[in-house]
Chains A and B, each alone.
Chain A
Amino acid sequence: MFSFSLTRLNEPCSRYVLRAGGLALLIFAGVSVASANDSVTGATIGYTCMGCHGVNGQSPGPIPSIAGQSAERLTTQMMAYRDGSKSGTIMNRIAKGYTPEEIKAVAAFFAQQPAK
């Protein structure tokens, strides 16, 4: 469901995504949620990350920016935090809170944000 709705977004809406950041994604995510029942969208998870990683993943301070990185790289890193093969200060504890599908969805969300 996620990959379907996000892939669908990537193509025709990329202009909107770039211009309006998460807005277009959330509106579409809302639509996709209606058909995806109880799935959490990558956008919904993504907004909770911004408290540390900055607006749309563009960090203004010393916490790493995650906006505009490839979805593959973000997924690999989150999965490595999740299984403990990569050590962070706090990310191991946070990454364990998500399923692999949720990690892929939030990685796709931040991959769509303009890099800082």
Chain B
Amino acid sequence: MTMNRRNFLKTSIGVAGAASLSACSMNKMASHSGRKAHVVVVGGGFGGATAAKYIRQFDPNIAVTLIDAHANHVTCPFSNLVLAGEKTMADITMNFDSLRSQHDVNVVQGLVTEIDGVNRKLKLADGQTFTYDRLVLSPGIDFKYEAIEGYSAKVAANQMPHAWQAGSQTELLRRQLEAMPDGGLFIMSAPANPFRCPPGPYERASLVASYFKKHKPKSKILILDAKSKFAKQGLFEAGWQSEYPGMIEWVSMDMGGAVNQVDPAMMTVTAADVHKGNVVNIIPPQKAGKIAFDSGLTDQTGWCPVNQKTYESSLVPNIHVVGDSSIAGPLPKSGYSANSEAKICAAAIVALVNGRSAPEPSWVNTCYSLVAPDYGISVASVYKYEEGKTVSVKGAGGVSPKNGNKRLEAVYAQGWYDSITQDIWKS
């Protein structure tokens, strides 16, 4: 089915007219018919869903279509709590109902296979096509499977999950950890920078350790790392020592930790040495989501260069890239960053559609990590725009103090999750 902008508007009017006889419906119809632009958002995660909501909120006269390959979004944040048995998949699964009902976003389930930046059109795997005035792309990450010999999407899905996109692999890894005998070895490989959620692998090791401590206390965790330092390292290592003495071993790149080969049949992982695990979690090096490559939006780094004030691609006009796929200066690839970037992008798009210049941006990133379910640590940064670049504000930000209130930071980690998921998917 072909759906160009005019058809999209007609359909929307039809739906609004048929679905609602309330006093609001007349206003709604009026606003539909008067819409001045159509923005398509690809990806319903932290970046895309935020952009869709806020474009509609900032200017109700812009029509927004959100396209996601799935009916729901399962959040990576808190998926490590699912691995630890502290949360369920339902707890971390978000739907798009509020975007539909409260923001009148046209939510479409489908896989975008082709973007034509010249004619501002895109095509889905099922043949549907859409035209756009501006496109927001928030496709998240893809994996460089080929960097590790023997590893592949198939191995990840069946034997050695990455579980770095929450969903079925989160469930697989949880089942494997549950089935592991006490005294077993859980091997993780952590990737080189840049990658999604820099403290994530170390939070994962921590929360799996909290599960082992309760249920399989003789078990060990081996982290093989392609880096020689990692986010919140001092705080994590202090927590590992106090909470899980002797359970977690971290092998840095300098010490031969970079994994270059796996053998799923033997459950072995090869770095400087060969290690055999009961459960193996390979987090491969990463790159921008596939559609970003297919659409010519990536540079030699494998990520998408963008204007730091508008998130418009430096390579293809009228396409904005937010979230993990974009090169956002010093902002890390986190859900909080994606949410912050998407609000700046939404405000910029609304300004541009209305013939104004994009407003001066300001960003925050806050990342909580759990060393244990009741032991939280955090890192925060504030960013500003300076001479075309995003820069960290000097003197601000940083990690929790060593003697910080770990219990309260764990409470606030939950508070952060409650707030940001409500901001994006539930309000």
Contact = CB atoms under 8 A, between A and B. Distances in A.
Interface string A50-85: 111111000111110000000000000000000000
B339 A51 contact: yes
Given A51-B336, A93-B398, A94-B396, A39 B416 contact: no
Interface stretch (B145-153, B247-255, B274-282, B407-415): B407-415
A83 B343 CA distance: 29
B405 A89 contact: yes
Nearest to A45: B362
A96 B398 CA distance: 11
Contacts of B382: 94, 96-98
Interface string B372-395: 000000101110100000000101
B415 A90 contact: no
Contact of A44 (B354, B357, B362): B362
A9 interface: no
B350 A22 contact: no
B340 A48 contact: yes
B422 A94 contact: no
Nearest to A48: B364
B411 A62 contact: yes
Given A48-B364, A89-B400, A55 B340 contact: no
Interface in B396-427: 396-398, 400, 404-405, 408-409, 411-412, 414-420, 422-423, 427
B86 interface: no
Contacts of A45: 362
B363 interface: yes
Contacts of A90: 366, 378, 380, 400, 409, 412
A23 interface: yes
A18 interface: no
Residue of B359, B380, B398, B418 most packed against chain A (CB within 10 A): B359
Given A59-B419, A97-B382, A52 B362 contact: no
B69 to A, nearest CB: 25
Contacts of B409: 89-90
B418 A60 contact: yes
A90 B351 CA distance: 32
Contacts of A48: 340, 343, 362-364
B419 A52 contact: yes
A50 B419 contact: yes
B389 to A, nearest CB: 14
B419 A34 contact: no
A60 B364 contact: no
A59 B234 CA distance: 31
Given A90-B380, A93-B396, A93-B397, A34 B423 contact: no
A59 B411 CA distance: 13
A111 interface: no
A41 interface: yes
Contacts of B357: 33-34
B416 A44 contact: no
Contacts of B361: 40, 44
B422 A27 contact: no
Contacts of A96: 382, 393, 395-397
Nearest to A50: B423
A30 B356 contact: yes
Given A34-B357, A98-B396, 18 more contacts: A26-B347, A27-B58, A33-B359, A41-B360, A44-B360, A47-B343, A51-B423, A52-B412, A52-B420, A55-B422, A59-B415, A60-B422, A61-B419, A63-B412, A63-B415, A89-B404, A90-B366, A97-B397
26 contacts: A23-B58, A26-B58, A26-B347, A30-B350, A33-B357, A34-B356, A40-B360, A40-B361, A40-B362, A41-B360, A44-B344, A44-B360, A49-B364, A50-B419, A55-B419, A60-B418, A62-B415, A63-B412, A63-B416, A89-B404, A90-B366, A90-B412, A94-B396, A96-B395, A97-B381, A97-B397
- A-B complex: 8 closest residue pairs judged by Cβ atoms: A97-B382, A61-B418, A97-B396, A63-B415, A96-B396, A61-B415, A48-B364, A62-B415
